[in-house]
Chain A
Amino acid sequence: MRKYVTMIIAALSLASVAFATESQIWGEMRIQNILGYDKEGSTHLGPLFTMLQHQYFAWIFLGVLIGVPLAFFIHYKIIGPKVFPHSAKKYYAFNLYNRIIHQVAAVSFLVIVPTGFIIVFGDFFGGGTLVRMAKNLHGIFTIPFTIVVIPMALMWLKEALFNLDDIKWFMILGGYLSKEKKPILAGKFNAGQKMWYWVAILGGITMILSGAIMFFLDFKMQMLHDLTGLSQIDLLRAAAIIHNVMGFAVVALFITHVYMSMFAIKGAVQSIITGYVEEEVKILHSTWYKKLKDQGKF
């Protein structure tokens, strides 16, 4: 943990050094940026960002915000939640470390996602203090997520690798389209949870980096320039596009994750709070259950 804190402090102090040097946006580069804007052979990122932000991003976010919960609402009405009896048999699946890391990420997301929506629909909220506060919280709560994202990636990496069970899981969509309670092939994490793992980790890191580029604005990152061949202003445009597009995926799966743990499987959220999973894993994570049973842990 100390290592991360040091890394963040180092990055911040580096940033202040970079600010002192010639601006990448308002310095001499500005002429090149002006002349290159939308010219043949240029990246066209300026007009592309303008078009996407002007016509699409807010609508797609609105679609995700309404569409995903609506689909789940219909699912809840037609198929309904899966309810499992509380059993005496429990297995301690998430230790304190796992739960703390997860809860830090959870709280971060609970702030980052809604504030993100307030920014996207800033117009609706009238701008000003409220939306500015949302923007600041959006940035501040990135810090705890940044601290836990690598530990979280490492602690669940093994369980999140895809395997053959997952193909079968996807073919029946995890059994969520039927009311039956037939054992479903899945390890500690099913294919859906694995998908969320990768979107939350890789998508999350992408969101952190693209967000940081926009936050620090004029912070020269030579390595990124060399790597991508993009000027600072084009990097910012690319970051804004990536941040929004990746946002669609992260938000859609975040809502899914919340629905699954809070509504679709009654009481599932308890397992990450107490650390204990109950009999329901016999059905929902049958491969894992078998393994635990063979080891005599259940």
Chain B
Amino acid sequence: MMSELSKMKFYCDTNRCIECFACSVACAEAHDLPTGISRRKVITLFNGVEGKEISTSIACMHCTDAPCEQVCPVDCFYIREDGIVLHDKNRCIGCGYCLYACPFGAPQFPRDGAFGAKGAMDKCTMCAGGPLETNSVHERELYGQNRIAEGKVPMCASICSTNALLVGDAESVSAIYRKRVVGRGRGA
């Protein structure tokens, strides 16, 4: 079994994020997301208030003991060895329970059908696709690119110009962050 430290995690360094929206746009483009769905979102608080303004980029955090996985009535989540939390869109019924359980507001729902019912849930896959055959057309259509399978870094982190958005196993991410905190002497 892998240790907790070797689980894949995201981290957004709010001291570096400059609210350029590159991660969010790159994600939407890379995965051909429908309008209205943004797996990754940049949010700025205290807009224009000097010294207080702060921006951060949020997506699914691929939680340990993921609450979404615990509440899904059709059990469509699965958690990979490396900690990436994925789900099966063909199984999902769009009930919304995962959103209620999620601490980060990650799950989103496209509206489908004439009655405007919620369609299959969509969320960040950490660019690791879904349960369908890796790098198949079907996988790409439903879940977007599978960059992890190709040995690439997730789109959002790879495009981040200030390297605010970090992704990797928990140990490496916190090592980088520690070094930064020591370097700038603040921001712990």
Binding site for B on A (CB under 8 A): 25-26, 28, 30-31, 33-34, 37-38, 46-47, 49-50, 53-54, 58, 119-123, 125-128, 131-132, 134-136, 139-140, 214-215, 217, 233, 236-237, 240
A54 to B97 alpha-carbon distance, docked (Å): 11
Chain B residue nearest to A121 (CB atoms) is: B73
A-B contact pairs, 7 of them (CB 8 A): A25-B99, A38-B103, A54-B70, A119-B95, A127-B76, A127-B88, A135-B93
B41/A217 in contact, CB under 8 A: no
The residue from A33, A38, A49, A126 contacting B74, defined by CB atoms under 8 A apart? A126
B73/A49 in contact, CB under 8 A: no
A123/B58 in contact, CB under 8 A: no
Taking the complex as formed, is B90 at the interface, i.e. its CB lies under 8 A from any CB of chain A? yes
A53/B71 in contact, CB under 8 A: yes
Contacts of B93 in A (CB 8 A): 119, 122, 127-128, 131-132, 134-135
Quick one: given A46-B103, A136-B115, are A31 and B43 in contact (CB under 8 Å)? yes
The residue from A30, A58, A122, A125 contacting B43, defined by CB atoms under 8 A apart? A30
Interface size, chain B (Cβ < 8 Å): 35
Determine the main DSSP class of A at the interface with B. Answer: helix
A237 to B94 alpha-carbon distance, docked (Å): 15
A240 to B102 alpha-carbon distance, docked (Å): 14
Contacts of B115 in A (CB 8 A): 136, 139-140
Contacts of A131 in B (CB 8 A): 73-74, 93
A47 to B38 alpha-carbon distance, docked (Å): 25
A30/B41 in contact, CB under 8 A: yes
A49 to B56 alpha-carbon distance, docked (Å): 27
A31/B118 in contact, CB under 8 A: no
Chain B residue nearest to A129 (CB atoms) is: B90
A123/B73 in contact, CB under 8 A: yes
A119 to B103 alpha-carbon distance, docked (Å): 23
B74/A34 in contact, CB under 8 A: no
Contacts of B56 in A (CB 8 A): 31
Chain A residue nearest to B100 (CB atoms) is: A237
Interface string of B30-56 (1 = CB under 8 A from A): 000000001001010100000000001
Taking the complex as formed, is B149 at the interface, i.e. its CB lies under 8 A from any CB of chain A? no
Contacts of B178 in A (CB 8 A): none
A53/B70 in contact, CB under 8 A: yes
